[in-house]
Amino acid sequence: MLPVYKRVLLKLSGEALMGDKSFGFDTAIISQYAKDIKAITELGVQVAVVIGGGNIYRGMNEQETGIERAHGDYMGMLATVINGMALQAGLEKIGVYTRLQSAIKMEQIAEPYIRRRAIRHLQKGRVVIFGAGTGNPYFTTDTAGSLRAIEIGADVILKGTRVDGIYTADPEKDAKATRFDEISFSECLSKQLKVMDMTAFTLCMENKLPIIVFNMNEPGNLSRVVTGDKVGTLVK
């Protein structure tokens, strides 16, 4: 099967890396993700990745923690770099060349984020992992994913989650919830469906960047998505 996308940005949540654990990493999940990413690079797809940090640190309520929002957001950015290093290790273990770029300078472990350099790595077939969000507090990793996807000229954002698309309601809470195969940006807004945070979603909408929400925990789904199978929900 030939891929229908040349360059993709894969957005993963930090929580997804936990598997069944309550904190940290599940090595089996990282291994599966690495194999799925390798499979699409072998099809010739250029892959960039943004991972959240929720398995290590989530921006918590300032009143509960005593940590101000900006300070907590920087802590969350550092967590995404740890996750990026974990995925990088998983990919390189199976022979996939990767580069980790950070929006916050930390030369010993990651390159600084430079747009042209990131694109060059992609053109050479390397997987580029973007860490530390946008480098600014008050922005989520969803927004970082949308921004980086637009900057590198990605064809689509692939939002890998633990559910198999966008539903009329939360399928884990409502048995009558039905899944959309395809939906427009304006419909998502009118139905108040939470695909991404508003800043991230608006960036995609204004730049006509499609989003596919799919179940990343099903092995092989990533390859099915990039070869055009009807997997998950397409927002366009």
**How far, in Å, CA of 26 to CA of 225, rounded?**
24
**How far, in Å, CA of 168 to CA of 134, rounded?**
31
Collect contacts of 24-27 with beta carbons under 8 A, ≥24 apart: 24/55, 24/56, 25/55, 25/83, 25/86, 27/90
CA-to-CA dists, residue 135 to 148, 167, 169, 199, 219, angstroms? 12, 32, 33, 15, 32
Instruction: Locate 195 and state its tokens.
Output: 């695909």
pLDDT digits (tens, 9 = 90+) for 182-192: 999 999 999 98
Instruction: Locate 34 and state its tokens.
Output: 């690495």
Looking at residue 22, its pLDDT comes to 86
CA-to-CA dists, residue 145 to 4, 33, 45, 82, angstroms? 20, 17, 18, 17
pLDDT digits (tens, 9 = 90+) for 1-41: 899 999 999 999 999 899 888 889 999 999 999 999 999 99
> Which residue bears the tokens 């077939």?
125
Higher pLDDT, 18 or 151: 151
C-alpha distance across the termini of the chain, in Å: 23
Q: Name the average pLDDT for the chain.
A: 94
pLDDT digits (tens, 9 = 90+) for 69-123: 899 999 999 999 999 999 999 999 999 999 999 999 999 999 999 999 999 999 9
| CATH number attached to the domain at 7-235 | 3.40.1160.10
Instruction: Locate 85 and state its tokens.
Output: 């290093």
Mean pLDDT of 35-53: 98
Looking at residue 225, its pLDDT comes to 98
Looking at residue 110, its pLDDT comes to 98
Asked if residue 63 has pLDDT above 80, the reply is no
Half-sphere exposure of 223 (CA within 13 A, CB side): 18
9 SS3 class: strand
Half-sphere exposure of 149 (CA within 13 A, CB side): 30
Looking at residue 81, its pLDDT comes to 98
Looking at residue 214, its pLDDT comes to 96
Domains of the chain, by residue range, sit at 7-235
Confidence of residue 60 (pLDDT cuts 50, 70, 90): low
Looking at residue 59, its pLDDT comes to 64
**How far, in Å, CA of 56 to CA of 24, rounded?**
6
Mean pLDDT of 204-228: 97
Q: Which range, of 61-65, 69-73, 158-162, averages the lowest pLDDT?
A: 61-65
Looking at residue 172, its pLDDT comes to 79
Looking at residue 31, its pLDDT comes to 97
